[in-house]
Amino acid sequence: MNRSTRRNFLGIAAGLPLAVAGCTTTVDETTDPPGSVGAEPLPFGPGGSFPPYERMYASVTDGGFTIPAVPYQNIDPRFLRQEVRNTTGEPEGTIVVETGNHFLYYVLPGGRRAVRYGVGLGRAGFEWSGSAVVGARQRWPKWFPPAEMIEREPELEKYRGTDLDGDNVWEGGMPPGVMNPLGARALYVYQDGKDTLYRLHGSPEWNSIGKSVSSGCVRLMNQDIIDLYARAPLDTPIIVRSAPGFRLI
């Protein structure tokens, strides 16, 4: 994607520097097939509430990997997964990322309630806003750092991806695993049928939630991205905006 195309997606306000995303460069052959919704989400408990935090954020074995428990006691409670009133103004089945407060909402059926997750976001110079859809979904993705990121961090050269025969099947990258920067799941952000290179993804760095430290993508705790992934099928609308009622397009 060229810089002009990316700018059209981002809708960055005038004067804000535009940087290249640092999440991944491609979708590999393990992508869920069209129409796949994934595993069932964690059930709501009595009265529509989630289970206790010690259960939601406990260690879990998934896809052959063991995800460590999250020390949720060390996280601001507002960034822990919870069911809340839908204050986004968006209809059911929509993902809304509000960058000003580091929240991601998934609007539940009926539109009156939402699941709210805390997220980590891009540091200064990597912020982005706009409207798109989930164009691909992947369990335990590989990570292919973009060339621009490798230029900034040469130690990532060993993870450079190579499209050997030009058919978008890539070799290389960082193998899946609990320390992979994309975590246990990734939702790929598309606009007009094209991959924007931005992702909603898991992260082993629970202490980055509620902060702006990543290279442009929206990161969730691995236990939370597994839950969101199960709720959000292909073509789920995604809206990223700086504050409630304010959208850059």
Mean of the pLDDT values across residues 133-144? 92
pLDDT at 164 over 90: no
Taking the C-alpha atoms of residue 35 and residue 57, their distance in angstroms, rounded to an integer, is 28
| Residue of higher predicted confidence among 190 and 46 | 190
Q: Rounded distance, CA 174 to CA 126, Å?
A: 22
What domains sit in the chain, N to C, each tagged with a CATH number? 3-27+79-141+177-241 (2.40.440.10)
Confidence of residue 201 (pLDDT cuts 50, 70, 90): very high
Q: In what order do the strands lie in the sheet with 194-203?
A: 82-85, 113-118, 103-107, 95-98, 237-241, 130-139, 185-191, 194-203, 218-221
186 and 202 in contact (C-beta within 8 Å)? yes
What mean pLDDT comes out for the span 192-209? Answer: 91
Confidence of residue 175 (pLDDT cuts 50, 70, 90): confident
Tens-digit pLDDT profile for residues 5-20:
333 333 322 222 222 3
Residues 6+ positions from 60 with CB-CB distance below 8 Å: 66, 67, 223, 226
The reported pLDDT for the residue numbered 145 is 76
Can you tell me which residue has the tokens 């597994």? 226
pLDDT at residue 61 greater than cutoff 70: yes
Residue with the bigger pLDDT between 62 and 246: it is 62
Instruction: Encode pLDDT of 27-38 as tens digits.
Output: 443 444 433 343
The pLDDT value given to residue 170:
66
User: For all residues of the chain together, what is the average pLDDT?
Assistant: 78
Q: Is the pLDDT of residue 46 over 80?
A: no
Q: For position 209, what pLDDT does the model report?
A: 95
The yes-or-no verdict on residue 227 having pLDDT over 90 is: yes
The rounded radius of gyration (Å) of the Cα atoms in the chain is 17
Average of pLDDT values for 213-236?
91
Name the more confident of 212 and 221: 221
Confidence of residue 126 (pLDDT cuts 50, 70, 90): low
